[in-house]
Amino acid sequence: MRQFPRTIPGLIAACLLLAGAIASAQSPLDDYTPVTEQMLVDPPAGDWPMWRRTYNHWGHSPLDQIDTTNVGGLRLAWAWTMAEGLQETTPLVHDGVMFLVQACDYVEALDVRDGARLWEYRRPRVEHGATLACANRNGTLYDDKLFIGTHDAHLVALDARTGEVVWDVTVGDWEVGQHYSGGPQVIKGRVVAGMSGCYYLNTRCWISAHDVETGEEVWRTYTIPRAGEFGYDTWGDVPDDMRRGGSSWNAPSYDPELNLIYAGVGVPIPWGSVQRGTGDGDVLYTNSTLALDADTGEIVWYFQHTPNDEWDLDHPYARLVVETEVSPDPDVVEWLNGGIIPGSRRKIVTGIPGKTGIVWALDAATGAFLWAEPTNRQNVVAAVDAESRRVLLNEALKFPQVGEPVFVCPSLTGGINWNATAYHPGTNALYAPTNNVCMTLTLNEFRDRPGFHHGSARATREVAPDVDGQVGMLTAMDMATGGTRWVHRQRAGIGGSVLTTGGGLVFVTDDARRFRAFDARTGDILWERILNSSAGGFPVSYLHDGVRYVAIAAGGGVNYRMVTPEIRQPPRGNVLWVFRLP
């Protein structure tokens, strides 16, 4: 006969021990296995180990359990209240554990089945001068570690099973504004990340690689050339300590076959050439795509999308690597390389890398210009010289003077911002969330102090002309021809990132708090859920115990409600939503 404790305290103690043993046995951390290099190259179908899931930044899940025939039955599985602050996270998933890297480097590990918290890491917060320093978009998994970049310009390795710090290295100087916001990638045993916040006291930005075991720096590539380097003269006579900007503030993509890292670079600081004193120089490598040798960090090629930017039209966003037929249709594509042999297959770097909302196609090995096509309204890029790889800008907009307004499309919020496009290999289409918003921009007298770069100019935003008040648009663009497969237009802006799936679906959120699933082939809306807020996070999909889930982190993010004042929401409420079929 089983013996039970004879006292109430004894019974309680026994129950607590039993409950603790059961909970411990059921924790997914017990079965957590290291993430290998091969898993990063080709992740398990049910995992999401890095920003946009794969090195090529497709934002695509191959899972097909949820498809066009049953997505209408998608329902809430569980939800989790996240930390306050700038919410732009990517949930990472491996072996039944979800890792949430949140505002100001607060990290939680959760059970993917119900959101039960397994551990937390909270980094002490510093009083940072950069307003966007606490926006943390992702970490990355490798071996038994989670790697993050922090708001105080450190790289940190956490034990994935416990949340304990394995190593912590100082890379930049937060006191002059430097910080990480886009998060790192692990590439060939190195943690690769681009620094942001290079606005003050000779703080030109860089991309660096660090040993995964120690954090020791292996190489560093600056995004603004030094004396004696190619491109130095593109800044004119500006002293070295005044050559600022070039933040590389999103995680880079990578092609293992070419051994090239593709990184985007942001704007020069301050925004106007008259404020910088750079004249008509290109100010390299701002607003460029950089292809870096993964072993050395050497720049193999570059392409500058907006030379000598005057309007804060950043270009540090996701670069997608796609192998496709290249046959741009001259009847629909605005700019193309006439030397292309139609029907040839190439590996291209594509997507919408910057705020102008233009889809670019560049040869991944050489950087040769292939074609480019706008989505939203823009009046900045006038032409592209394919032979010289030079982008020609609208002369009427160049060299604005302090105090003199200029009308620019898109606005400095961008046709797109850091929210990401996605690719679907089944349709060979890019799915792009962009917006028709313009601005009247007026340069200010520049004040040389930390954080003032956002005061370089003042802007009044308005809906672009000739769009019937329809701000948001989701475009499916054929990657072979550059033609539009379909476009969904709506009043509410679309500031969310895109997820495509093996079930033929395209998920995205908008300013009206709607999380929607579109048919990838037709553009039909198949499912919709109203969230508590518009979503600043990146949607993901994962599989556990045979059950597929779709997750999205809501709470702020990019929005275009300044031109649609009838669309309102409270400025709070960070919630992770997780959906599944019944």
DSSP collapsed to 3 states, 12-68: HHHHHHHHHHHHHHHCHHHHCCCECHHHHHCCCCCCECCCCCCCCCCCEECCCCCCC
Cα 22 from Cα 143, distance rounded (Å):
27
Contact status, residue 98 vs residue 92, Cβ threshold 8 Å = yes
Question: Which tokens sit at 338?
Answer: 């006439």
3-state secondary structure of 399: coil
Q: What per-residue confidence (pLDDT) applies to 358?
A: 98
Rounded to the nearest 5°, which phi and psi values hold at 563? -110, 0
List Cα–Cα distances, 569 to 386, 460, 509, in angstroms.
45, 21, 14
Beta strands (DSSP E) in 305-455 are 320-326, 335-336, 344-350, 358-363, 369-374, 381-385, 390-393, 406-408, 422-424, 429-435, 437-443
Q: Which residues contact 258 (CB under 8 A, 6 or more apart)?
A: 347, 364, 365
Residues with pLDDT less than 50, the chain: 1-25
DSSP secondary structure code for residue 157 in this structure:
E
Let me know the angle formed at the C-alpha of 170 by 165 and 174, rounded to the nearest 5 degrees.
115
Question: Which tokens sit at 408?
Answer: 């620019």
Contact status, residue 515 vs residue 499, Cβ threshold 8 Å = no
319: left (phi over 0), alpha (psi -120 to 50) or beta: beta
Q: What per-residue confidence (pLDDT) applies to 450?
A: 60
Q: Which residues contact 331 (CB under 8 A, 6 or more apart)?
A: none
